[in-house]
Structure 1
Amino acid sequence: MTSTVLFDFSGTLFRVESAESWLRSVLGTAGSVLPEGEVARTAWALEAAGALPGGASPVRVPDELAGLWEARDESADLHRAAYTGLSRQVPLPDPALHEALYDRHMEPAAWAPYPDALQVLSTLRERGVRVGVVSNIGWDLRPVFRAHGLDAYVDTYVLSYEHGVQKPDPRLFATACAALGADPRATLMVGDSRPADGGATALGCSVFFVDHLPAAERPDGLLPVLDLVG
């Protein structure tokens, strides 16, 4: 019987805003101006570059960024360097906007929970199921959960940059299970990445995958979790 559930963050419980929303927010805050026709084109270029954390993967990682990209979730500095490096592949009206874009993606307002996230997390809490969040990330996502009212349903957070280890390394999942006093064989890992989240199977965890889609396009992708947990 499953007694513990581990969730990924981006693409699983939360989805980041669109690249265009991301860019418009930063341009507005900075008082920078792009011709209206250029906004959508620049947002598309940033998305293709993979510059928005939690958004699309890069179409191509430049050779000079390949090492950073592979290790990006192992520290806050590596994460920022990798994503601002990708962002700088796209010209912007002010070079300072690349750092501003990175800062924006860490704001709670840049994220929205999937429509069924609250129902699933609150039901698990009612059933006495302990919950952990295991994320490959370079910054503290706890304020996002607090701002959206989901922090009360999470018992522990295991974030790659705080441990210097990234999924699929089983040590990250083992850390979460230890923090929850959970037997990995009675633990379900829920995520959107088979290569990364599938690493939990090395410990004996079962896994359930969801599709990494915009929140409005995946209204009930998490609900099957409730049928998998006793």
Structure 2
Amino acid sequence: MTTIKGVLFDFSGTLLHIEPAESWLRAALTASGTAMDEAELARRAAALERAGALPGGAPPVEIPAALAGQWEIRDRDARLHRAVYTGLARQVPLPAPELYDALYERHKTAEAWRPYPDAAEVLAELHRRGIRIGVLSNIGWDLRPVLRAHGLDRHVDTCVLSCEHGLQKPDPQLFALACRELGLAPSDVLMVGDDRTADGGATAVGCAFLPVEHLPADGRPDGLRPVLDLVG
């Protein structure tokens, strides 16, 4: 049996979870100085969620034809990522045009993300054992400040972000690149993620794969701890 020497973690839905749509919209309203009563806020937040406008949240119930092709490759480029998600949000009428950009900016803040309860403990223990640690994410912006704000960066050796390489999971090239960043052969690396298609693509280059459930942070208190058994 191969000894695991490195672990790659997905970001959204694996190490951290995005805030609910209502608090996301409320924060954007506050940032833009726009008033909205609570009942209307709840309705608009639900509509934004159905539209799939919150990155890291639920996917769109229906993707507009004009965005369909871009949706599939949204994580390869930062400008495209912003255009797709603000485009989805614009399907929902909001009282001020600046709210669409405010919503996008909000989701990139540390306050919009909640670490899973066992994330810090698992990363610290892996680091203590001498395991190389990376974050490999399909994302359109730099997540490093969010990791730093939550104290998770101290144990992470490298971050490989799709938008910085023009590749997105499950492209084998991105997994191979991440393994090189760890300085390890793929056969020595475990990929941990909540998407069996995107993250599970790691097996194509020879990595092991451990799926976790995509649940709110308080609904998955110890989903990452099985990693410690696999690298023990």
When the two structures are superposed, what TM-score results if normalisation uses the length of structure 1?
A: 0.99
What letter corresponds to residue 96 of structure 2 in structure 1? Answer: D
1:125 maps to 127
Distance in 2, matches of 1:102 and 1:36, equals 21
1:135 maps to 137
Distance in 1, matches of 2:27 and 2:183, equals 42
Match 1:67 to one of 41, 52, 69: 69
Between the aligned residues of both structures, percent identity stands at: 66
Secondary structure of the corresponding residue to residue 47 of structure 2: helix
Distance in 1, matches of 2:114 and 2:108, equals 12
Return structure 1 stretches of 4+ with deviation > 3 angstroms. none
1:3 maps to 5
2:224 maps to 222
1:182 maps to 184
Distance in 1, matches of 2:121 and 2:102, equals 34
Write the mapping of 1:80-99 to structure 2, written as runs, cut at 5 A: 80-99=82-101
2:45 maps to 43
CA RMSD of aligned residues (A): 0.6
2:22 maps to 20
Distance in 2, matches of 1:210 and 1:95, equals 38
Secondary structure of the corresponding residue to residue 198 of structure 2: helix
Distance in 2, matches of 1:26 and 1:179, equals 36
Distance in 1, matches of 2:139 and 2:87, equals 16
Secondary structure of the corresponding residue to residue 189 of structure 1: strand
Displacement, 1:33? Answer: 1.3
Q: How many pairs are equivalent?
A: 230
Assess if the C-alpha contact under 8 Å between 2:109 and 2:146 holds in 1. Answer: yes
Assess if the C-alpha contact under 8 Å between 2:31 and 2:102 holds in 1. Answer: no
Secondary structure of the corresponding residue to residue 48 of structure 2: helix
Secondary structure of the corresponding residue to residue 195 of structure 1: coil
When the two structures are superposed, what TM-score results if normalisation uses the length of structure 2?
A: 0.98
Distance in 2, matches of 1:28 and 1:39, equals 12
Assess if the C-alpha contact under 8 Å between 2:90 and 2:100 holds in 1. Answer: yes
Distance in 1, matches of 2:88 and 2:151, equals 32
What letter corresponds to residue 146 of structure 1 in structure 2? Answer: R
Distance in 1, matches of 2:92 and 2:155, equals 39
1:196 and 2:198 matched: yes
What letter corresponds to residue 227 of structure 1 in structure 2? Answer: D
The runs of 5 or more residues in structure 2 that have no matched partner are none
